[in-house]
């Protein structure tokens, strides 16, 4: 598990053109949900393309601990024999969700209306992240929780034996919170209603409908009003997980900044609640095209083609787009360093409570590498130096955060001097094949001392 083992320092240096096809792994958000909803249906759910990163493997282990049978066959297909809505058994041990905020928050929701208790923990990053955003709405169902000061893990959740449905307006733009409430609502009789003012990723709603739940979304003046009828019988599904746009972001952004590059990233999920980065890059002047746009398993999918883009311009990223690219700001800030002019990112307070404080982590590392960055509580600005002008040369802290580690590795591919991270091991949480995949395109990333 990342952060529990030996740190893996890594260095990335300027390389020749990146070329070829990058087969990035399955979508992390969809993979967690496929395992959890599979565990809540009666019968066998089959999943292909599941992300086999540490975060998702921890969720698979957790589903076993709650009584589901979860196996992988030699062809890479996952089989989940679920226990049905309300059928979770009490785990016989502490549930360790590793580095995964999505894993722990969704699982807390899924067990919150079952008459069982469970204790959750994670690595140092996860144990420092706020959980009250989930336990507050779960308390409305009748769920109890006891954690550390500030609502931190380790934490025990006592599920509601006699849950009531809830009506909840999500106070922060968070798909994790929305999903936790919806998953808890599954085992509450009657209608659970969740309202979000800003649209966040909607994989839970789409997948619940696919598993046969009665769920509707209405766009009103209040925001998106999502209504779920409790106690459905979920029907097992065959799920093909699309490839992860958040992982695609790394080879795409690398191709834009490395001279001469031309990279194809096939089969990328382009759900509009996830695709904000690509729109932003195009506004910055990126040579990024969608080829073969189609629909697969209820999600829009395309092949992304990214080519070296020497004339990138800094822009003001519309705050309304933040939720649709929340995990991509770190790597966007790297691209912004190679643009001309300032890239201003506002309305991004949530970045401060991710696997790390991502504004602080990126601002500090970019400054060490010669880039001017300003930041405030919910905004930051990167002053681009233009192609060929970013010095590099520094070692950055990854703070147990996969996306910070990968972003600095992308930075080093086009800086004057190599860029290092103190620990690349967290990359395995979401993108275990990052190093061989980038090497296959022509990148030069080395494990220091290996
Ligand atoms: C996720 C939602 C996002 C995102 C995370 C995955 C999900 O978090 O940052 O990596 O799968 O629901 P928030 O919903 O808390 O913003």
Instruction: Spell 70-104 as b/e; 16+ CB within 10 A means b.
Output: beeeeeeebebbbbbbbbbeebeeebbbbbbbbbb
The pair of structure tokens assigned to 48 is: 């292909």
Ligand 1, atom nearest to 175 Cα: 14
How far does the centroid of ligand 1 lie from the alpha carbon of residue 102, in Å? 6
What is the pLDDT, as a whole number, of residue 298?
73
Atom of ligand 1 minimally distant from the CA of 350 = 16
- Residues marked as catalytic: 327
Residues contacting 256, CB < 8 A, separation 6+: 281, 286, 287, 288, 306, 307, 308, 309, 312, 335, 338
> Which residues does residue 119 pair with via DSSP β-bridges, in sequence order?
156
**Which residues of the chain have a pLDDT value below 70?**
1-4, 450
* Ligand 1 nearest-atom number relative to CA 33: 11
Q: Which of 26, 27, 29, 30 should be mutated for ligand 1, with most atoms under 8 A from CB? A: 29
Q: State pLDDT tens for residues 301-325.
A: 999 999 999 999 999 999 999 999 9
The answer on whether 33 is annotated among ligand-binding residues is yes
Expressed in angstroms and rounded, the spacing between residue 346 Cα and the centre of ligand 1 is 18
* Site to substitute for ligand 1 among 105, 170, 174, most atoms within 8 A of C-beta: 174
CA of residue 176 to ligand 1 center, whole Å: 5
Whether residue 358 is annotated as binding a ligand: the answer is: yes
Measure 126 CA to ligand 1 centroid, in angstroms. 13
pLDDT in tens, 217-253: 999 999 999 999 999 999 999 999 999 999 999 999 9
3-state SS of the chain: helix, strand, coil percent to 5?
Answer: 30, 30, 40
Counting atoms of ligand 1 from 1, which one is nearest the CA of 246? 10
Q: Whose CA is nearest to atom 9 of ligand 1?
A: 327
Instruction: State which ligand 1 atom lies nearest to the alpha carbon of 101.
Output: 5
Task: Delineate the domains of the chain, giving CATH numbers in brackets.
Answer: 10-26+242-447 (3.65.10.10), 28-231 (3.65.10.10)
What single string gives the DSSP state of each residue in 94-162? Answer: -EE-TT-HHHHHHHHHHHTTSS-EEEEE--TTGGGS--HHHHHHHHHTT-EEEEETTTEEEEEEE--SS
Phi, psi of 23 (to 5 degrees): -90, 90
- The rounded Å distance from CA 174 to ligand 1 centre is 6
List CB contacts of 125: < 8 A, sequence separation 6 or more.
3, 99, 355, 356, 399, 400, 401, 426
Distances (CA, A) of 112 to 142, 161, 164, 287, 450: 8, 9, 11, 46, 45
Q: How far is the CA of 232 from the centre of ligand 1 (A)?
A: 25
pTM of the model: 0.98
Pocket of ligand 1 (CB under 6 A): 29, 102, 174-176, 179, 200-201, 326-327, 350, 354
Check the annotation: does 327 bind a ligand. Answer: yes
Q: Ligand 1 test: best mutation among 201, 206, 224, 226, most atoms within 8 Å of CB?
A: 201
pLDDT of residue 191: 98
Known binder of ligand: residue 29?
Answer: yes
Say if CB 211 and CB 39 are below 8 A apart: no
Tell me if 192 sits within 8 A of 182, measured CB to CB. Answer: yes
- 398, 336, 401, 327: which is closest to 365 by C-alpha? 398
Across the beta sheet with 419-421, what order do the strands follow?
395-396, 419-421, 10-13, 444-447
Between the two ends of the chain, the Cα-to-Cα distance in Å is 20
> Is 416 assigned a ligand-binding role in the annotation?
no
């Amino acid at each position: 598990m990342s952060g529990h083992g030996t740190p893996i320092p890594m260095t990335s240096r300027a390389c020749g053109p990146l070329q070829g096809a990058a087969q990035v792994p399955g979508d992390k958000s969809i993979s967690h949900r496929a395992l959890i909803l599979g565990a809540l249906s009666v019968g066998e759910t089959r999943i292909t393309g599941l992300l086999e990163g540490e975060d998702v493997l921890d969720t698979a282990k957790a589903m076993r601990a709650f009584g589901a049978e979860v196996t992988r066959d030699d062809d890479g297909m996952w089989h989940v024999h679920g226990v049905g809505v309300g059928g979770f058994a009490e785990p016989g041990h502490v549930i360790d969700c590793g580095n995964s905020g999505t894993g722990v928050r969704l699982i807390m929701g899924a067990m919150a209306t079952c008459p069982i208790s469970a204790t959750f923990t994670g690595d140092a990053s996860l144990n420092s992240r706020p959980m009250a955003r989930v336990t507050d709405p779960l308390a409305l169902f009748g769920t109890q929780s006891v954690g550390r000061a500030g609502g931190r893990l380790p934490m025990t959740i006592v599920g509601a034996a006699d849950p009531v449905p809830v009506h909840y307006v999500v106070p922060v733009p968070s798909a994790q919170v929305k999903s936790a409430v919806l998953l808890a609502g599954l085992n509450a009789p009657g209608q659970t209603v969740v309202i979000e003012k800003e649209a966040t990723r909607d994989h839970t709603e789409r997948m619940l409908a696919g598993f046969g739940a009665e769920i509707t979304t209405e766009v009103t003046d209040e925001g998106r009003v999502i209504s779920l009828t409790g106690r459905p019988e979920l029907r097992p599904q065959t799920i093909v997980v699309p490839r992860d746009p958040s992982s695609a972001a790394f080879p795409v952004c690398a191709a834009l900044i490395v001279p001469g590059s031309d990279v194809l990233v096939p089969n990328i999920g382009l759900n509009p609640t996830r695709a904000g980065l690509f729109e932003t890059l195009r506004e910055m002047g990126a040579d990024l095209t969608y080829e073969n746009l189609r629909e697969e398993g209820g999600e829009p999918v395309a092949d992304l083609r990214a080519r070296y883009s020497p004339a990138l311009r800094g822009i003001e990223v519309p705050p309304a787009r933040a939720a649709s690219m929340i995990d991509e700001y770190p790597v966007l800030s790297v691209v912004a360093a190679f643009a001309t002019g300032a890239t201003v990112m506002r309305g991004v307070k949530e970045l401060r409570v991710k696997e790390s404080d991502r504004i602080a982590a990126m601002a500090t590392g970019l400054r060490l590498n010669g880039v001017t960055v300003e930041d405030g509580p919910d905004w930051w600005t990167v002053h681009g130096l233009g192609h060929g002008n970013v010095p590099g040369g520094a070692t950055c802290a990854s703070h147990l955060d996969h996306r910070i580690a990968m972003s600095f590795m992308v930075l080093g591919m086009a800086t004057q001097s190599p860029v290092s991270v103190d620990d690349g091991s967290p990359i395995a949480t979401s993108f275990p094949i990052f190093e061989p995949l980038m090497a296959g395109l022509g990148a030069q990333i080395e494990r220091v001392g290996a």
